[in-house]
A = this chain, B = another copy of it.
Amino acid sequence: MTPPPTGFSTEEFQSRVARAQRAMAAKGLDALLLTTEPEVRYFSGFLTRFWESPTRPWFLVVPAAGKPLAVIPTIGADLMAKTWLEDIRTWSAPCPEDDGVTLLAETLREVAGAKGRVGLPMGHETHLRMPMADFARLRAALVPVEILDAADIVQNLHRVKSEPEIAKIAHSCAIAGRAFDAMADMAKIGTPLRDVFRDFQIALLRGGADWVPYLAGGAGPGGYGDVISLPSDRPLQAGDVLMLDTGAIHDGYFCDFDRNYAIGHADDDARRAYRTLYAATEAGLTAARPGATCADLYQAMQAVIATYGAADVDAGAGRLGHGLGMRLTEWPSLIPSDHTILEPGMVLTLEPSLEMAPGCIMVHEENIVVREAGPELLSRRAPPDLPVLD
């Protein structure tokens, strides 16, 4: 299992910036201001786990033409200098009196002009990673420069992945697939769920994950109550349904899929729920062709889920799948109101769920990339029947 080449070519970054600049021109934007980890990394290649520290803001400015400029704390200067960027401006942070605001305002005025228009992602699924009070200061310092929503630009760019990006996601999926293959060694009757989580994370690291930002799951008689929990110390018991859902990282790209297992034996309800969700995923795979919408995928899967006859159809994740890439979850969403049209290169999760009984749900999940000819599975397909671990 050879990993794909590390990082990206300069041409890939140039292409990302060129596409952003075309979209900026169409909206009349003179600069794009970015503050979050995936936004900054997408245009720079700046990959570090230091974003875990919430203390310091980081800024990337995409001009109307030319390379992006980094406006960052000194602690990141050495690492940013290894990227393809050239104009790297730093201040010694943290500096509560002026944490980069003056330097950023100067840079934006220089790039966008004294009466320019600056785009900033403000829409759905975005946030501003800097203090609100500092943003108010920035805004005041920039008058009459306008700051406008540019969420659509960033989301359109990230929505379709390049082949090198897809290769990284595929590799993360392969790593997680191998770790799931070894579940029989980890999840035995009497093993506390906490130990299963520990051993699964170790298997992911051994298999090539750089780190494991996300792992959730549950286990209980016949099913589990939610899909976002940390493990308890409860030992696995015969008749439990166990689910683990992971987002492991390889070279900055996530996988995001789960697997379900029966411990010792499975009851009929669990087997039937599993087969229903397997069939719902099949329906999603059939529907996941260029030109279909996210709503189409939702309806195709929901039609199968409805055959189970669950009482509460909204007990799961609030959607039946989502985008995937530099984030564990990205736009679009597989919901009835999302009419995003599928295009080749979009990476999605198919994530049907149903409620077997109050407080007892099951969720399946696979990762796919949309191709001209239809979907390509990035996660190896789960077995069609609920696997039983003895």
Contact = CB atoms under 8 A, between A and B. Distances in A.
Interface in A281-311: none
A75 interface: yes
A93 B94 CA distance: 35
Interface in A55-97: 55-56, 73-76, 78-79, 92-97
21 contacts: A47-B230, A50-B214, A52-B214, A75-B316, A78-B225, A94-B124, A94-B333, A96-B333, A96-B337, A96-B338, A126-B131, A127-B127, A127-B128, A127-B129, A127-B131, A132-B149, A133-B149, A197-B210, A198-B205, A210-B230, A211-B212
B92 A120 contact: no
A314 interface: yes
Contact of A78 (B56, B122, B211, B359): B359
Contacts of A136: 122
Given A125-B54, A127-B129, A48 B230 contact: yes
Contacts of A73: 318
Interface stretch (A22-30, A110-118, A321-329, A376-384): A321-329
Contact of A317 (B75, B126, B211): B75
Contacts of A198: 205-206
B128 A128 contact: yes
A224 to B, nearest CB: 9
Interface of A: 36, 47-50, 52-56, 73-76, 78-79, 92-97, 99, 120, 122-134, 136, 149, 151, 197-198, 201-202, 205-206, 210-216, 225-230, 247, 314-319, 322, 327-331, 333, 335, 337-338, 359
Contact of A125 (B94, B211, B228): B94
Given A55-B329, A56-B318, A94-B124, 9 more contacts: A48-B229, A53-B214, A75-B226, A79-B228, A92-B314, A122-B132, A201-B211, A202-B206, A213-B213
A49 B216 contact: yes
A131 B128 CA distance: 7
Given A49-B214, A211-B212, A227 B75 contact: yes
Given A78-B359, A328-B53, A99 B124 contact: yes
Contacts of A211: 201, 212, 215
A221 to B, nearest CB: 16
A99 to B, nearest CB: 7
Contacts of A228: 48-50, 75-76, 79
A269 to B, nearest CB: 19
B327 A54 contact: yes
Contact of A53 (B131, B212, B329, B337): B329
Nearest to A199: B205
A97 B124 CA distance: 9
Nearest to A99: B124
Given A54-B127, A122-B132, A127-B132, A94 B319 contact: yes
